[in-house]
Structure 1
Amino acid sequence: MTSVAEAGAAQPDSVAPEPGEPTPGARSGRYGSTSLRVGAASIWLSVIVLLPLAAIVWQAAGGGWDAFWLAVTSNAAVESLRVTLTISAGVTVVNLVFGLIVAWVLTRDDFPGKRIVDSVIDLPFALPTIVASLVMLALYGPASPIGLHLQHTKWGVGVALLFVTLPFVVRSVQPVLLELDRETEEAAASLGASNRVIFVQVILPALLPALLSGAGLAFSRAIGEFGSVVLIGGAVPGETEVSSQWIRTLIENDDRTGAAAISIVLLVISFVVLLVLRTVGSRAAKREELSA
């Protein structure tokens, strides 16, 4: 008769998981079922994002394709889109440069009041955008204390958009700068590379994905911005009237189908820009990993 000890010895030994490999049941036991998490995330995404998007698409399609096309190709709509896209593109480029500089200073330099400056960067996230417009009007309006009158000008709209979109670039680049390997920079410097060469060939390729991601977020925020430009811009047709203000005008005139149509155009532009920039950024990150 086989003893209990022999029976236990005859059983195959359990194979210990490799280091870093999750133990059986860890996926569902420790943090709950994967399917449950996916289901909860899908429901929340549907309620918060997909349903509102579906509703606005349905409203835009309510008048048919002809009504949609007339709404997005009207002279006022085209002019507002032109103003929106040109100013937003310029703002994004400016914030790419100065956002990188601000992020660099916050991560590489020490100076009095650094924590205060770091906190101020997030102020546009917390500040109501209409308050930002009031601030801009007080600073650059007819009674400007610095003698700079930008109300009802494209420059005024641009300054307002610079204010609300700067944090997107800074906060996208700052974590990557903190994680960069300083030894690589020191090695390049020891081999005689100049600061410019080190930045262009060592630092910038590593920052490119984050820069593109921040640029996409800043651009998408700029083309949909309303509150910060409503007072300083003045909605001058063909000059300072951005698409969000034209949408408000359509709603006030009870043209909800036309307003929804312009909104769809802005959504598509934002989605395409984000998709393209993030795809380019992902490919750049993969090339950087392969070269490393």
Structure 2
Amino acid sequence: MSRRYPRFCHLCGTPLALVERYLMYSNGLVICPTCESTAPRCQRCALPGRHLERVGGALLCPTCRAQVAFCACCGRALLETAYMIGDSPLKYCQRCLEERPRCDICQAPLNERGRLLPGRHGESRRCGACWAEAVHSPNEAAPLYQRIFLLLPQEPGLTLPLLPRLHLCERALLQELHQQRRESLQPGEKEGAESDPHLLGIFVQQGREQDIYIEHYLPRDLFQAVAAHELAHAWQAWQGLDGLPLLVGEGFAEWTAYHVLLALGEERMAQRLLHRRDLYGQGLQRFLTLEQHQGRTAVLAAARGSLLL
């Protein structure tokens, strides 16, 4: 079989018989010396071309244009390293991660769709994605909260005689309430409480008055997870379960939130609970293992402290 030789430059059409030499790239592109020295090059693959497009601040050939990712914050073409946060598929450039304020919820850098929300106790920050899904007001929160309260007796099987009052507040207030709780504990009860990281919500009881405080402007799925978690603490209070080890108290509350989320169809948030590696995640895994081997009756017994976890 005879070998076929290229006859024309792929960029300018000059007959290759008229030039002393030509260049052939690995992808089959053949060009004359003039195009090799004068044609602009794609900033991703470095191949010369006559139909390049400037997109995201970079000059790209059609092939690279279809393959390259762009920073979800500033829109720059990600020609080198792309950074991802958590389980989000979005990608970011290093400059945005280093220079822009970060979302309090997901840690993504803020773009023009994000929000900086001033407050009495400090500023709250929400990226565009979290803000788009945020629970913005008590009127939006109330039906979600009520739905979880009504769901609890069926999934996972907790009955509360009364629905605690709900308050949306700034994170700084949650931290203040958490500190007040620590100060009210006896010396032996304070062990482990200082490291409690769950400051998106808190359950407070004074006498028979029960209140649940949840950080304002949480995304809907996260709000539901926090509400279910804190309602589990309200159930523990009605059971007279004070002073539980954090692994038991918080692990059971996460177990409750996990099952509520699944019942609501919030599988992605439920999976996020499974991926936690802190005390909350460890407690959740222990309760799930107990449920798998001995059923929910054993889970409720462990939650009441009558069965070793």
> Which has the larger Rg?
2
Give me the TM-score of the superposition, normalised by structure 2: 0.28
Task: Return the structure number with greater strand share.
Answer: 2
Relative contact order higher in (CA < 8 Å, ≥ 6 apart):
1
Task: Return the structure number with greater helix share.
Answer: 1
Give me the TM-score of the superposition, normalised by structure 1: 0.29
